[in-house]
A = this chain, B = another copy of it.
Amino acid sequence: MKQPRVTIKQVAAEAGVSITTVSHVLNDVPGLRVNPATKQRILEVSGRLGYIPNGLAQSLRTQRSHTIGLIGDEIVTTPFASKLILGAQEVALARDTVLFVVSTGYQRHVEDREIEELLRRQVDGILYASMFHRAVTLPRQLASVPTVFLNAECATPGVPWVAPDEVAGGRDAAEVLLEAGHRRLGFINNVDDIPASSGRLAGFLQRVEEAGVDASSVRVISVESEPAGGYAAAMELLDTPERPSGVFCFNDRLALGAYRACAELGLRVPDDVSIVGFDNHEYVADGVYPGLTTIELPHYDMGVWGAEHLFSLIDGDADGTGAGEVAAAESALLRGPVIHRGSVSSPST
């Protein structure tokens, strides 16, 4: 089944030339004119034999594996991750390189092992992704390899990172509600102390104040970001005459719970209460009725940004002088779009 693959040597023999010449025409070596006739012959033979160069040998020789590693915690398991991977993969593909995707499952020893595995395979660079926006530090083994952090803020200086602009996201959510005319607001936040929860809250309140609404009037409840938590929080928030007319949920799953609470309380979305989510979780935000208006996380864009910067790091490092680092070492906060669906309308009261 596995017949030995055809090598450049065979092509050379079959075409009656040296391997050097074959290599030359196949790689279009610049400034080197080859007799059109032999060139044609080589191309023909190569095609006929189905010759595919051995990338391992090429990489060994050129010191470029055209391979980058994407390492994440449980990144591979989550639906968000796919967008991130997709973004990185598309820019990688455009540069003829492929991705090794590995995930650690949050276990340190697995991470160590996988990083080593990546290095052993001579990846040109590494994309280190976190499933949720958080702060991390550079694993020591990565010190000698171009690395970019995705969906995480890296404390180690000189290492580029990209993460969602949570504050802007919070502001956007407030904007949607304020624009629709809501003034009595609620926010069901996540309890975890991570950039996402503090940032979205800060942005939300910020924007609310700018609109002339007293920030202390918005009721904030923090719960575990599961449907059950959203349900409980919404019950508490909405089961009162002074209930807010607009509620911002830390994420779409929380919003799911809020939907249920509304249904049980006999409140209609969006007529009685408007809801804004966060994540644009596919199959959740658009599967629910009415469709959930939500803020999308820029996963795809982070993947693209990260890969592009990784390449500039790799290329800049090509000479070993570290040039290019300065320009590439900047990090970024990316913003996702607001996805308008049916869960927000003007307040009835």
Contact = CB atoms under 8 A, between A and B. Distances in A.
Contact of A146 (B2, B81, B98, B117): B2
Most buried by B among A57, A65, A120: A120
A320 B120 contact: no
Contacts of A1: 144, 146, 313, 317, 322, 325
Interface stretch (A30-38, A47-55, A185-193, A198-206): A47-55
Nearest to A279: B283
Contact of A52 (B98, B102, B116, B227): B116
A317 B3 CA distance: 10
Contacts of A320: 2
A85 interface: yes
A226 B24 CA distance: 54
Interface in A82-115: 82-83, 85-86, 89, 96, 98-103
Interface in A2-40: 2-3, 5
Contacts of A96: 117
Given A1-B325, A121-B55, A283-B283, A99 B101 contact: yes
Interface stretch (A209-217, A284-292, A338-346): A284-292
Contacts of A146: 1-2
A60 B61 CA distance: 11
A167 interface: no
A59 B57 CA distance: 9
Interface residues of A, number: 61
Q: Oligomeric state, in number of copies? A: 2
Given A56-B59, A89-B103, A122-B56, A98 B79 contact: no
A76 interface: yes
A77 interface: yes
Contacts of A184: none
A122 to B, nearest CB: 5
Contacts of A238: none
A207 interface: no
Given A60-B57, A98-B117, A317-B2, A77 B86 contact: yes
A120 B289 contact: no
A60 B227 CA distance: 52
A133 interface: no
A325 to B, nearest CB: 7
A45 interface: no
Contact of A289 (B54, B119, B227): B227
A253 interface: yes
Contacts of A231: 289
A5 B57 contact: no
B79 A79 contact: yes
The list of the 6 closest CB pairs from A to B, nearest first, reads A79-B79, A55-B120, A260-B289, A55-B121, A256-B287, A2-B317
Interface of A: 1-3, 5, 50, 52-57, 59-60, 65, 67, 76-79, 81-83, 85-86, 89, 96, 98-103, 116-117, 119-122, 141, 144-146, 227, 231, 253, 256, 260, 263, 281-284, 286-289, 313, 317, 320, 322, 325
